[in-house]
Amino acid sequence: MEGLILLFVSSALINNFVLAYFLGICPFIGVSNKISSAFSMGIATTFVMVITAIVSWLIYNLILLPNQLDYLQYVAFILVIASLVQFVEMVIKKVSQPLYRALGIFLPLITTNCAILGLALFIVLKDYNFAQSIVYGFGVGVGFTLALVIMAGIREELDLADVPKPFRGAPITLIVAGLLALAFMGFAGLITI
Partner 1 sequence: MKKVSLLKEYTKGLWDQNPTFKQILGTCPTLAVTVSAMNGIAMALATTFVLVFSSMIISMIRKLIPNQVRIAAYIVIVAGFVTIVDLVMKAQFPAMSKSLGPYIPLIVVNCIILGRAEAFASKNGVFSSILDALGMGSGFLGALFVIGSIREVLGNRTILGVAVLPEGFTPWLIMILPAGAFITYGLLMGLSNAYMEKKKENERKAIYNKYITAKQFVNETEA
Backbone angles phi, psi at 65, to 5 degrees: -65, -50
* Cα 44 to Cα 99: distance, rounded to the nearest angstrom: 10
Minimum distance of partner 1 from residue 63's CB (angstroms): 17
Residue number with CB closer to partner 1 (37 or 73): 73
Residue ranges binding partner 1 (CB under 8 A): 19-26, 29, 71-75, 78-79, 82, 112-114, 117-118, 121-122, 125, 164-167, 170-175, 177-179, 181-182, 185
Residue 28 C-beta: closest distance to partner 1, Å: 9
Which residue's CB is nearer to partner 1, number 66 or number 164?
164
Q: In the complex, what is the shortest distance from the CB of residue 174 to partner 1, in angstroms, rounded to a whole number?
A: 3
Of 2 and 157, the one with the shorter C-beta distance to partner 1 is 157
Report the residue number, 97 or 193, with the smaller CB distance to partner 1: 193
Taking the complex as a whole, the smallest distance from the CB of residue 101 to partner 1 amounts, in Å, to 24
